[in-house]
Amino acid sequence: MNEQLPSLRDLQSSLHGQARSAGAFYLLVVVTGTFSLGLTPERLFVGDTPEALAASIAAQDWLLRVSILAEATCYVAFGCLALALHALLRPVHRGAAAGMAMLVLISVPFGFSNLAALVEIQRIVESGAALTSAEAMADAYARYRAGHFLQSAPWGLWLLPFGYLALRSGFMPRLLGIGLILAGAGYIAHFAARLLVDGYRESIWPDIFAAPRTAEILMAFWLFAFGARRSLWRARPAADQS
């Protein structure tokens, strides 16, 4: 019995460190993603015509550059998060952890490919041809927006196995696990409704589907602040090898 106690303490300490590392990556994703995907577009991409859009971007070239850097950082951190969470949650359920990581890693190169549209816009601005190339900039921005819409599918899908693993883990709050599943379902519902339902974007449903995404922010803070909190430690089920 005395020989087993240090082993259990070592396991708990290792799990705690892994969880906090995953939380650090998750927080980086939240901060850089909120800035580049949430706050920046509302200020930078303004205008009802290609010319107005081009003028707005050209007047804030510094913000465009910082946003590109932040979004690239977000995707790198997202990939690292997938690997960190896979290492942390693989003992809970091997298949679910692999599926979760796969869905994230699929979206990362997709994100960088989509980001190329912003780099194209930045090069036009840097050349001083923003106003004369307003149509080209508007087309590039439209591709960027369309790419984000397509990315919303894997962004939602990866949260389903993650929420399931959180529920089974024994060291993450079950309420946040449920929230992650609802957030994932909200992403997927938003993706399907945008394609299939006329007038969807003018309804209240986009806000309703987006509401559970708060669980992602709370989970990031939880993992970073508490890790695999010892007070929540429960006997974990044997690793599912399926």
pLDDT value, residue 233: 42
Half-sphere exposure of residue 205: CA atoms within 13 angstroms, side-chain side: 17
Side-chain-side CA neighbours of 232 within 13 Å: the count stands at 17
Q: Given this model, what pLDDT does residue 40 score?
A: 93
pTM equals 0.86
pLDDT for the residue 230: 52
147 and 110 in contact (C-beta within 8 Å)?
yes
Q: What pLDDT is recorded for position 186?
A: 95
Residue 14: per-residue pLDDT: 72
Contacts of 169 (CB under 8 A, 6+ apart): 89, 92, 177, 236
Encoding tokens for residue 240?
Answer: 């599912």
- CA-to-CA dists, residue 216 to 24, 165, 187, angstroms: 13, 14, 12
Identity of the amino acid at 61:
D
> Tokens 């508490």, residue?
226
The pLDDT value given to residue 163: 97
CA 127 from chain centre, in angstroms, equals 32
Give the residue carrying structure tokens 């900039």.
Answer: 137
User: In three state form, how does the secondary structure of the chain look?
Assistant: CCCHHHHHHHHHHHHHHHHHHHHHHHHHHHHHHHHHHHHHHHHHCCCCCHHHHHHHHHHCHHHHHHHHHHHHHHHHHHHHHHHHHHHHHCCCEHHHHHHHHHHHHHHHHHHHHHHHHHHHHHHHHHCCCCCCCHHHHHHHHHHHHHHHHHHHHHHHHCHHHHHHHHHHHCCCCHHHHHHHHHHHHHHHHHHHHHHHCCCHHHCCHHHHHHHHHHHHHHHHHHHHHHCCCHHHCCCCCCCECC
pLDDT in tens, the chain (242 residues): 444 444 555 556 677 788 999 999 999 999 999 999 999 999 999 988 999 999 999 999 999 999 999 999 999 999 999 999 999 999 999 999 999 999 999 999 999 999 999 999 999 999 988 888 999 999 999 999 999 999 999 999 999 999 999 999 988 999 999 999 999 999 999 999 999 999 998 899 999 999 999 999 999 999 999 887 654 444 444 444 44
Q: Which pLDDT score is estimated for 1?
A: 44
Confidence (pLDDT) at 237: 44
Give how far the C-alpha of residue 87 lies from the chain's centroid of Cα atoms, to the nearest Å: 18
- For residues 84 and 94, give the distance between their C-alpha atoms in angstroms, rounded to a whole number: 14
Spatial CA neighbour of 219 closest among 187, 181, 173, 188: 173
